[in-house]
Amino acid sequence: MQSQRKENHVLDQTSLKLDHRYYASVYSQHGEDGYIAEIFRRIGTTNRRFVEIGVEQGLECNTRFLLECGWTGVWIDGNSELLTRAKNTFGDFVASGSLKIVDCFLTPDNVNNVVKSAIGDCSVDFLSIDTDQHTHHIWSALHLPSRVACLEYNSTLPMNVAIEVPYMADAAWDGTNYFGASLKSLEQKGLLKNMSLVGCESMGVNAFFVDSQLVHDKFSYPYTAENHFVPPGYGNYKDHRCVGWPPGPAKKWIAS
């Protein structure tokens, strides 16, 4: 009987995995629309508000589908040309007040003032950050409470090593694997925010975090990088294996 209970526990944990079954790209680049929908199916919604940092022109971002399903929120990006296109494309949503578009290059120093100015003191159901080089630094500095967060991680880094690139204000992604933070690093940063790692999408680009008070019996335990890591399904191919972005010049990684 004891072994049977153990087997059922394993099967239950497997069924709670956020795996490829939930992949769906209405507008998102890597199936995030489906994973986001499944997460909120499990935990429900409250104010149906979002903040997304790093949207470019908004055509393939993680919150466009939410916006078109009646959510409200804020898009922030530092590329003025692309945001002008977003304002034209989504002008009706801006005019109705359901979408605010903010043209600003975010840093750890200004992110809280910019976000607070755009959305006030309220919490949000969903936060998404993808700023290529410094996603992890922006998230660490941001004090906005969210029930769910979607963060870009560097899946070319070992799942069990907490390392990241140091913050350099003038740094931009150079097309190599020198960017961001490992999944273990984000796992640890999430714990400081009382958020648990619950899964990654199938391309190994984005990781999902949920308020730790909401995860019980709803997601696969343990909420660790070792349990939820997905390797890169993008980038350069070698011997029919996808190996992520290529290595760049000699650079320094730092421990998280």
Task: Express each pLDDT in 181-213 by its tens digit.
Answer: 999 999 999 999 999 999 999 999 999 999 999
> What is the band of 4 on the pLDDT scale with cuts at 50, 70, 90?
very low
pLDDT, position 14: 73
pLDDT, position 180: 95
CATH number at residue 57: 3.40.50.150
Query: What secondary structure does DSSP assign to 174-195, as a single string?
Result: -SSS--SB-HHHHHHHHHHTTE
Residue 138 has pLDDT above 60, yes or no: yes
Residue 235 has pLDDT above 90, yes or no: no
Domain count, the chain: 1
**9 Cβ contact partners less than 8 Å away, ≥ 6 residues apart:** none
Q: Classify each residue of 195-221 as buried b or exposed e, where b means 16 or more C-beta atoms within 10 Å of its C-beta.
A: bbbbbbbbbbbbbbbbbeebbeeebbb
Asked whether residue 182 is domain-assigned, the answer is yes
Asked whether residue 7 is domain-assigned, the answer is no
Measured over the CA atoms of residue 217, residue 218, residue 224 and residue 227, the dihedral's sign is: positive
pTM: 0.92
Say if CB 218 and CB 42 are below 8 A apart. yes
Asked whether residue 246 is domain-assigned, the answer is yes
Asked whether residue 72 is domain-assigned, the answer is yes
Mean of the pLDDT values across residues 131-157?
96
> What is the band of 7 on the pLDDT scale with cuts at 50, 70, 90?
very low
Q: Per-residue pLDDT tens for 63-106?
A: 999 999 999 999 999 999 999 999 999 999 999 999 999 999 99
Say if CB 61 and CB 75 are below 8 A apart. yes
> What is the band of 251 on the pLDDT scale with cuts at 50, 70, 90?
confident
Residue 169: give the domain boundaries.
Answer: 14-255
Asked whether residue 9 is domain-assigned, the answer is no
pLDDT, position 239: 59
pLDDT, position 18: 94
Asked whether residue 2 is domain-assigned, the answer is no
* DSSP-derived pairing of the beta strands 163-164 and 254-255: antiparallel
Asked whether residue 36 is domain-assigned, the answer is yes
Cα separation values, 99 from 51, 122, 172, 202, Å? 10, 15, 27, 29
Asked whether residue 1 is domain-assigned, the answer is no
